[in-house]
Structure 1
């Protein structure tokens, strides 16, 4: 058995490196590049990167649309960095907080020649690190020696493609009884992905019969709503209403999935809130940041339910995407149980946007 880290372990390292502003080396298709997340990049490190070659900025097509930049590669745009571009210019380009104050960012030169595979992988890695989806890439040669000499994490496109899109196996770490307000017959299970990402939790009420459809709720973590009681969303009231209904029926499973802000992370969620203060709705804010409407992976919930022995569910949701994902993962959804709680004047636009733009059901 080798002591060398597996691809899962190197991906975990890469996420940590990117969050700290440390470059990662990507190789594939006969090319190699140094990759740094713009959010964590400094002027000093940018100057060092320029010593290796000409930097290119990779942004998603969503962000490119806001900037009126051409996304020749479909889902992303490669922007040539001017020779005098400093971090102030870069941050203004990728962080939309000052878009309305400084609307003109260009002219921007979008590249169209050559493959964009490394750039696409770089954006996927930065997203996985819960950073703004923008990366600077510098083409390099002798990638192996460069990584070894500088103690940098090296990843190949083949490894990333096979691993990032795959659902990580879940380990059932531990469970214990936790008496709850909703039910004294509560048990909390901790599930840990093998890829080193956040733990997820299953709150089991009573002793649901594994041979019958279980009343289940897939609830994405919402620090502001669940913990602080934010009025901007309906998450906290939905969480408590779901547990209360399970308690009243005597059985159920609430999956608490750590996919804050529809999968973009708490910091980016706060950036989206800041954009909402400027008049954008929740979907528009996500797009201006460079994200899709919803970046969550509901396969996680299906996998946990299967590990717990369930084959069918009565799913508490207003989101048809959750139903489709459950069914696509082999779980039978025998009933959709509507869940309405927490509407107030502060979140009326948010709820209307979810219905109009994300297809949420009444």
Structure 2
């Protein structure tokens, strides 16, 4: 399947095609393979830095400048501005401003002498810093912004560290390196971001009595891009004519399932179910956005950075992610499909109130949702209050 021409397709066909291409591309990145991004007359091979192995690096070096009139610019590494700042502090990247930088990324030129392991260390803040790496890294500004930002977007969508290797190749040479199924137009990434939530489909439901809430139906919603399902835990009988008591809960494997004391997620989950049951009816949306949207593996990396002294926000920034990567469109779409247009929101987070409202769901009231701290999560809760603006 070749990159699609949006002007030539029915919007519904474009949606399905774009989502299918994203699913293939992110899966390929997670297995360490390259994908191609296209922008105008330019084509780039993209590979997730986290997954780089020496054979793949050798292939990228071979692809550099292939074909008649080859590009030959060398290997570039696109990282987020947050990760670049951390690399400057470690002395791995020159502190001078990076010319030609746009948006939230920085582009770096890598020496062909760098090994795959060294490049992985550049991408991963939990790896031990290696001082000699600085000799093989220099600022660059010779790749189109859409390709750089698109490469980072792809790694984020694949739940990998947001750092991507980029090699420009002639479009006529793409067949030598990337199957057509793994080629994307960079412009389609923005379309995917806007429309992935709208592709949610209700795919299954069942009555599941819970401790303290026996009248419960769990409804599963599947995104069209092949990602993880979101769940709606509907307690009692909803009355769409009235604002519904609701809770947006991002999944937390460590807190919800294992009872981790590093966060308050488990207490918030069970407390919300109890509060909704006591009120008579409502809904808890269990969203597949682990670790404020960075995924479980990256959350564990963030924990390591926190153990080394970073707070919750700074740990995410050091990984190259934003402070909070969660999206509210999926929650809003789930509520709409449940017939809910207005909610009384169980939350301490003002961003959830704003986010839902921006997605078309009226929030008539913020209902506080506070639980006692313990010796392990006091700093975590303090960071929520001081840096994220949570209201306890």
1:277 to 275, 286, 307: 307
The 5 Å alignment of 1:41-190 reads 41-53=52-64, 54-68=74-88, 69=93, 70-71=97-98, 72-99=101-128, 102=130, 105-107=133-135, 108-142=137-171, 145-146=174-175, 150=179, 153-166=182-195, 167-190=197-220
Q: 1:149 & 1:163 partners in 2: Cα distance?
A: 21
Residue equivalent to 2:5? none
What CA RMSD, in Å, does the superposition of the two structures yield over aligned residues? 2.1
Query: What do residues 108-150 of structure 1 show as CA deviations (whole Å, max 9, x unaligned)?
Result: 3111245221111010000000001011011111357527874
Residue equivalent to 1:19? 30
Whether 1:213 aligns to 2:224 is no
**5+ unaligned residues in a row in structure 2: which ranges?**
1-8, 65-73
Q: 1:335 & 1:205 partners in 2: Cα distance?
A: 19
C-alpha spacing 1:204/1:149, structure 2 compared with 1 (3 Å): closer
C-alpha spacing 1:44/1:95, structure 2 compared with 1 (3 Å): same
Whether 1:39 aligns to 2:50 is yes
The 5 Å alignment of 1:180-329 reads 180-329=210-359
* Cα shift at 1:158: 2.1
Q: 1:120 & 1:297 partners in 2: Cα distance?
A: 18
The 3-state SS of whatever aligns with 2:336 is helix
C-alpha spacing 1:23/1:168, structure 2 compared with 1 (3 Å): farther
Q: 1:149 & 1:61 partners in 2: Cα distance?
A: 28
Query: What do residues 148-202 of structure 1 show as CA deviations (whole Å, max 9, x unaligned)?
Result: 8746511011222222343342111121111111211011000111121110000
Q: 2:106 & 2:219 partners in 1: Cα distance?
A: 42
**5+ unaligned residues in a row in structure 1: which ranges?**
none
Q: 2:263 & 2:104 partners in 1: Cα distance?
A: 29
TM-score by length of 2: 0.88
Asked whether the 8 Å contact 2:41–2:171 carries over to 1, the reply is no
TM-score by length of 1: 0.95
> How many pairs were matched up?
361
* Cα shift at 1:33: 0.6
The 3-state SS of whatever aligns with 2:348 is coil
Asked whether the 8 Å contact 1:147–1:153 carries over to 2, the reply is no
Q: 2:261 & 2:83 partners in 1: Cα distance?
A: 28
Asked whether the 8 Å contact 2:219–2:231 carries over to 1, the reply is yes
